[in-house]
Amino acid sequence: MTYKTQMEAAKKGILTEQMKKVAAKEGMDTPKLMALMAEGRIVIPSNIHHLSLDHEGVGEGLKTKINVNLGISRDCREFKFEIEKAVKAIEMGAEAIMDLSSYGKTREFRRKLVGMSKAMIGTVPMYDAIGHLEKDLGEIKAEELIDVLRVHAEDGVDFMTIHAGINRKTAERLKKNGRLTNIVSRGGSLLYAWMELTGNENPFYEHYDKVLDILRAYDVTISLGDACRPGSINDSTDACQVEELITLGELTKEAWKKDVQVMVEGPGHMAINEIQANMVLQKRLCHHAPFYVLGPIVTDIAPGYDHITSAIGGAIAASSGADFLCYVTPAEHLRLPDLEDMKEGIIAAKIAAHAADIAKGVSGAREHDYQMSTARKNLDWEGMFNLALDQEKARRYRESSQPEHEDSCTMCGKMCAVRTMNKVMSGEKLSLD
């Protein structure tokens, strides 16, 4: 039997090499993995042209994955800095990189990134359209926007964010209901503007069958973009967000008919007390397709610290059903992130993902913490460093403030509770002098 996509293979009962790799990584039985893929609850983004890819699964019962955003733009055209960030992101264990390039030699950069990356690569073709086509937004034809998707698929990207859910009906809903922050999705705002300028329907919605045919041909996973994600906690769970979500659920089923793998994107900015309900609503309306969230950022007042506001929301979202977290850096809302910003964003997202995996009972999640706690009990500093999410920072902090006694730190010294209890429980003499 032959197949075009991982989903088609799963439906036909064909065990692919990608499935074997993911099952082994996740500690999941292959029949269970295949069944969940056939239902659309797990995806393995895997473009047939991305030969360096170390395959990952996203979805139900799997470890929560994280994504890092980078790319060249009008204000940052140099490949070198963004490639350095990509190399570091992969080294730090990010499972996915989204190339959000919007200006300059975007195709050259994208091909270089795909060629060197073992992480999944995602793109937002709408970002690239104006620069690639070298036209003003209102002059771009629907068929030209579809062609940009084809170029990205040919170049080997594993998933694409496509804002197919913001159609003219959703746009009217936005106009009638209003919002404090309108549309904050870059791709969504460009498509809204294109519809207003041309009077036409969103081409990714109107010609969705053509979109799916392209994605199917290369086994590109569609990440259904949430153009109406809230850009402030004031706008969360409003009519526009829910209207689009219903449409995304319908588009999910249409993609599955053509065996195209689907992820669905979610908020955005959202108060803590709304997150769990949104995850349940999302999964229900989108038929349990994997859910990919940006944050959610739980308060709007912390510029410079939005990796923290995002990690709080991400941990709650993932523990409530989200499967994939897009990192947020301290530079969010302020500037293009540099290398240090990216590192902080990755660690914050990984903390959120791991905390959620513990709550969800994902295989192996608690074992990591057990090992760390054992090393702490034994005052095994090298063991602690090796188990830390950020080994470099843990070592640097320890080395920057040396204690009088090796079996303590400068916080408590000889009054360290762990040291005290180890000695007392083993019958050793305890001296605090």
pLDDT of 407 reads 83
Is 228 annotated to bind ligand? yes
pLDDT of 405 reads 80
Tell me: pLDDT of 142 over 90. yes
pLDDT digits (tens, 9 = 90+) for 308-345: 999 999 999 999 999 999 999 999 999 999 999 999 99
Say yes or no: 353 and 372 in one domain.
no
Burial of residue 427 (number of CB atoms within 10 Å: 0-12, 13-18, 19+): exposed
pTM equals 0.95
Listed residues 358, 378, 406: the one ending a domain: 358
Tell me: pLDDT of 192 over 80. yes
Q: Model confidence at 75, in pLDDT bands (50, 70, 90)?
A: confident
HSE-CB for 415 with a 13 A CA cutoff? 3
Tell me: pLDDT of 206 over 70. yes
Is 292 annotated to bind ligand? yes
Residue 129 forms part of a structural domain = yes
Tell me: pLDDT of 94 over 80. yes
Q: Max Cα separation, the chain?
A: 83
Helix axes 186-198 and 168-177, enclosed angle (nearest 10): 100
Is 186 annotated to bind ligand? yes
State whether residue 346 is helix, strand or coil.
helix
Question: Tokens standing for 258?
Answer: 């053509």
pLDDT digits (tens, 9 = 90+) for 25-51: 999 999 999 999 999 999 999 999 999
Is 265 annotated to bind ligand? yes
Is 205 annotated to bind ligand? no
Is 240 annotated to bind ligand? no
Q: Which structural domain, as residue segments, surrounds residue 337?
A: 6-358
Is 182 annotated to bind ligand? no
Q: How many structural domains comprise the chain?
A: 2
Q: Which CATH number covers residue 26?
A: 3.20.20.540
pLDDT of 69 reads 97
Say yes or no: 329 and 380 in one domain.
no
pLDDT of 183 reads 97
pLDDT of 307 reads 98
pLDDT digits (tens, 9 = 90+) for 364-415: 999 999 999 999 999 999 999 999 999 999 999 999 998 888 888 889 888 9
Is 269 annotated to bind ligand? yes
Is 69 annotated to bind ligand? yes
Q: Is residue 159 within 8 Å of 220, Cβ to Cβ? A: yes
What's the Cα-to-Cα distance from 151 to each of 124, 192, 408, rounded to whole Å? 12, 23, 58
Is 23 annotated to bind ligand? no
Which of 40, 22, 39, 47 minimizes the C-alpha distance to 120?
47
Is 386 annotated to bind ligand? no
Tell me: pLDDT of 264 over 70. yes
pLDDT of 433 reads 64
Is 354 annotated to bind ligand? no
Tell me: pLDDT of 61 over 90. yes
Say yes or no: 302 and 186 in one domain.
yes
Residue 59 and residue 38: Cα distance in Å, rounded?
12
Question: Tokens standing for 116?
Answer: 């060197």
Listed residues 321, 337, 358: the one ending a domain: 358
Question: Tokens standing for 411?
Answer: 């916080």
pLDDT of 431 reads 81
- Buried (b) or exposed (e) across 92-120, using 16+ Cβ within 10 A? bebbbbbbbbbbbebbebbbbbbeebebb
Tell me: pLDDT of 4 over 80. yes
Tell me: pLDDT of 218 over 90. yes
Average pLDDT, the chain: 96
Residue 430 forms part of a structural domain = no
Say yes or no: 300 and 384 in one domain.
no
The backbone torsions φ and ψ at residue 380, rounded to the nearest 5 degrees and listed phi first, read -95, 90
pLDDT digits (tens, 9 = 90+) for 171-190: 999 999 999 999 999 999 99
pLDDT of 145 reads 97
Is 187 annotated to bind ligand? yes
Is 380 annotated to bind ligand? no
Q: Model confidence at 136, in pLDDT bands (50, 70, 90)?
A: very high
Say yes or no: 346 and 410 in one domain.
no
Listed residues 358, 379, 400: the one ending a domain: 358
Say yes or no: 120 and 21 in one domain.
yes
Is 229 annotated to bind ligand? yes
Mean pLDDT within 230-259: 97
Say yes or no: 75 and 189 in one domain.
yes
Q: Is residue 228 within 8 Å of 183, Cβ to Cβ? A: yes
Say yes or no: 338 and 379 in one domain.
no
Say yes or no: 211 and 124 in one domain.
yes
Residue 316 forms part of a structural domain = yes
Is 333 annotated to bind ligand? yes
Percent of the chain with pLDDT over 90: 91
